Amino acid sequence: MERKTKISAEEGKQDLLITREFELPVNLLFKAHVDADILEQWMSHEYGTAKVLKLESRKHGGWEYQTTDAQGNVVFSANGVFHEYVPNRKITRTFEMQNSPFDVQLEFLEFEHLTDDTSRLTMHTIYRTQELRDQMLKLPFEYGINMAHNRLQDVVSKLSNITYHDKAK
Amino acid sequence: MDLRRDVFQAIADPTRRAIITLVALQAMTPSAIAENFNSSRQTISKHIQILTECELLEQEQNGREIYYHFNPKKMKEIADFIEPFRNMWDDRFNKLEAIMKKYKSR
């Protein structure tokens, strides 16, 4: 399947551009970013449930959300403040991951009307340093490797248990 | 602190990128590589060492000479590293789109 999302990260720079076209009118694309119930739905995934703790959708309003795993442990939490809030057009906000070594980042979200049924989102993120940006980019890559590694360990430990029981017989 | 060589750090340097480009065309000895640069042989050999440590270059002994080869597998790893990040966002956005399409028809 073709990936519709484009990522542009120029070498040596400390920013990142994510663009994506949607088969949605711009007002619905915008609503998905500012309605707590809807946000929780699309930010949740098989490893965690997203919960919006605070979402003051206005200039100078704050936001905060977290993701919990199946056991209820908080695995991810982030917060920030809205600096610009123009319905169906633009959101400028800060983004900070709690309990992480990463500095606050600045995000510009632009919502564009293409046709009555299509729209485009452009997310421009600015990091404090180039190194920080590259680390952020690598997080899902490293996470993927860790997950694969854990799965492998699971399989191996099950195998060695079987061997152990066989020997015990 | 982990001081292992990082491939991304390795390709961040313009001289090292130039070395990769040269060696990708043909295997070369360290002195043949150094002839292409104004920097001292010591500097170039330090760059070669870094590229070898992170497996972008591979050594091969040929008689008395050491030749450096380019390792395309490692380069592909770098090109692919951004993919998981892109896939993460793409999955999220696909979900957003599906949810809002349902919302729209309600």
Are A7 and B88 inside 8 Å of each other by CB?
Answer: no
> Rounded to a whole number, what is the distance in Å from the CA of B61 to chain A's nearest CA?
34
pLDDT digits (tens, 9 = 90+) for A76-117: 899 999 999 999 999 999 999 998 888 999 999 999 999 999
pLDDT digits (tens, 9 = 90+) for A106-156: 999 999 999 999 999 999 999 999 988 988 888 776 665 555 555 555 555
Q: What is the DSSP string of A69-108?
A: -TTS-EEEEEEEEEEEEETTTEEEEEEEETTSSPPPEEEE
Q: How far is CA B87 from the centre of its chain?
A: 21
Query: What does CATH list as the number for B7-105?
Result: 1.10.10.10
Are A32 and B96 inside 8 Å of each other by CB?
Answer: yes
Whole-model pTM: value is 0.67
Instruction: Name the helix (H) or strand (E) containing B47.
Output: helix B41-53
pLDDT at A163 (0 to 100): 46
> Rounded to a whole number, what is the distance in Å from the CA of B76 to chain A's nearest CA?
14
**Tokens at A8, concatenated:** 């542009």
Q: Which of A6, A42, A138 lies closest to B81 in CB terms?
A: A138
Contact indicator for A50, A65 with CB cutoff of 8 Å: yes
Rounded to whole angstroms, the Cα distance separating A91 from A131 reads 25
Q: Which of A6, A25, A144 lies closest to B84 in CB terms?
A: A144
Check pLDDT > 90 for residue A41: yes
Are A9 and B82 inside 8 Å of each other by CB?
Answer: yes
* Chains A–B, number of C-beta pairs less than 8 Å apart: 75
Give the class (CATH, top level) of A6-128. Answer: alpha beta
Which chain B positions have a beta carbon within 8 Å of A49's beta carbon? none
Domain residue extents for chain A? 6-128, 140-169
Q: What angle do CA B91, B95, B99 make, to 5 degrees?
A: 175
